[in-house]
């Protein structure tokens, strides 16, 4: 302290000087149970293939994914989000492998439940991993966009398959209008009133999905997703409206995606809804941290924790993150 201290009644630094006080004053605390871990399941046996643009993340066959998930459950993670990756030769314009009740997603759900692994299975409902053109559903006759209402019919079938295989939650991610209401009706009629819906309500057409499209082999063959995903420059009212529509139709939880560049959207949606909000720290957000850390340009662990803390501070109740391997080390259960 200098000889003649400034006459300051408020000195915010006082509370930063002692570690125990700093720790006690943390308002936002991350725990492993805040996180949902994504899994990419592929055909075959004994397959564990690292995704080039997502170091530390692997495509796994069912026999490898099951023990991997058992490990995550043991660490205190409570839910996984499964994406199916199918051989290109099986894909067609309708995305029919999505409706096969023996596809990798259904087989994984059954195996996890048979092994009684204490994790809730959440399935991504979408057709981009299954269509030959890589769009999120069958196209309109002029092939200019995805046919909304036909896709919704198919999503209901996909959801019932997943529910039958043991999904606890289905997560429509294709941004089709009316999907949530149709899913709620379809699941209830098929006897699955207990299966929840987590809607990807607020999903932007984002450059940050790049690495995922490698991981899931789901890049659109032509065009982009701007005729169904949201425009980042539209403003938050559209986000609030999307969330409201889905909740009205029966969504149990809503999602904002991506997360890091959309903290304002997370906050605005959080303030306008009364159901849990899930934020998705997407593949590109993960890849940027990993790439910079690999170059020694940022501290990996600190960057992971800081980015995820910001997402929770903005208002996310749960977070989907690819960093489970680091979080198991860094966070309490």
For ligand PBG, which is the closer residue by CB, 34 or 285? 285
96, two tokens: 């029919």
What residues contact residue 222 under an 8 Å CB cut-off, 6+ apart? 133
H-helix or E-strand spanning residue 288: helix 283-294
Q: Tell whether residue 124 is a contact of ligand PBG (CB under 6 A).
A: yes
Nearer to ligand PBG, 194 or 221 (CB): 221
What whole-number distance in Å separates Cα of residue 157 and Cα of residue 106? 13
Site map for ligand PBG, 248-287, x if CB under 6 A?
Answer: ----------------------------------xx----
Respond yes or no: is residue 312 known to be catalytic.
Answer: no
Place of tokens 């999905």: 209
Q: Which of 77, 80, 130, 209 binds ligand PBG (CB under 6 A)?
A: 209
Check if the beta carbon of residue 283 is closer than 8 Å to that of residue 53. Answer: yes
> What CA–CA distances, in Å, run from 222 to 89, 111, 132, 219, 331?
18, 36, 11, 9, 42
196-203 and 35-42 strand pairing: unpaired
User: Interface mask (CB under 6 A) for ligand PBG, residues 140-179, using x and -?
Assistant: ---------------------------------x------
Instruction: Note whether 290 binds ligand PBG by CB under 6 A.
Output: no
Least Å distance, CB 320 to ligand PBG, is: 8
257 is catalytic: yes
Among 35, 40, 80, 212, binds ligand PBG (CB under 6 A): 212
Closer to ligand PBG by Cβ: residue 126 or 169: 126
Helix, strand, coil abundance in the chain, percent, nearest 5: 45, 20, 40
Scanning 137-226, the segments in alpha helix (DSSP H) are 148-165, 179-189, 210-215
Q: How far is the CB of 66 from ligand PBG (least distance, A)?
A: 22
Which residue in the list 91, 257, 295, 312 is annotated as catalytic? Answer: 257
Which residues form the catalytic set? Answer: 203, 257
Q: Which residues bind ligand PBG (CB under 6 A)?
A: 124, 126, 128, 173, 209, 212-213, 218, 225, 282-283
């Amino acid at each position: 302290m200098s000889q003649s201290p400034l006459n300051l009644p408020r000195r915010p630094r006082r509370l930063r000087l002692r570690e125990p006080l700093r720790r006690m004053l943390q308002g936002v605390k991350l725990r492993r149970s805040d996180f949902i871990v994504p899994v990419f399941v592929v055909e075959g046996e004994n397959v564990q293939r690292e995704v080039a643009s997502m170091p530390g993340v692997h495509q796994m066959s069912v026999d490898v994914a099951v023990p991997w998930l058992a490990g995550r459950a043991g660490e205190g993670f409570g839910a996984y989000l499964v994406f199916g990756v199918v051989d290109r030769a099986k894909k067609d314009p309708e995305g029919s492998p999505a409706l096969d009740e023996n596809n990798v997603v259904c087989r994984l759900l059954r195996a996890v439940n048979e092994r009684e692994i204490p994790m809730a299975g959440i399935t991504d409902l979408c057709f981009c991993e299954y269509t030959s053109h890589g769009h999120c559903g069958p196209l309109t006759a002029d092939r200019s966009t995805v046919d909304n209402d036909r896709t919704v019919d198919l999503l209901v079938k996909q959801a019932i398959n997943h529910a039958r295989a043991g999904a606890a939650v289905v997560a429509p991610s294709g941004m089709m209008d009316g999907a949530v209401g149709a899913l709620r009706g379809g699941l209830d009629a098929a006897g699955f009133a207990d299966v929840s819906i987590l809607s990807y309500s607020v999903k932007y057409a984002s450059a940050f999905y790049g690495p995922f499209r490698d991981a899931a082999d789901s890049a659109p063959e032509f065009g982009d997703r701007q005729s169904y995903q949201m425009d980042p420059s539209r403003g938050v009212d559209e986000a609030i409206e999307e969330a409201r529509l889905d909740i009205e139709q029966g969504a149990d939880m809503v999602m904002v995606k991506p997360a890091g560049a959309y903290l304002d959207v997370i906050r605005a949606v959080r303030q306008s809804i009364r159901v849990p909000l899930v934020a998705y720290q997407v593949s590109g957000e993960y890849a940027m941290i990993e790439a910079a850390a690999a170059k020694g340009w940022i501290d990996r662990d600190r960057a992971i924790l800081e980015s995820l803390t910001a997402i929770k501070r903005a208002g996310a109740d749960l977070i989907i993150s690819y960093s489970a391997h680091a979080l198991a080390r860094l966070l309490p259960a």
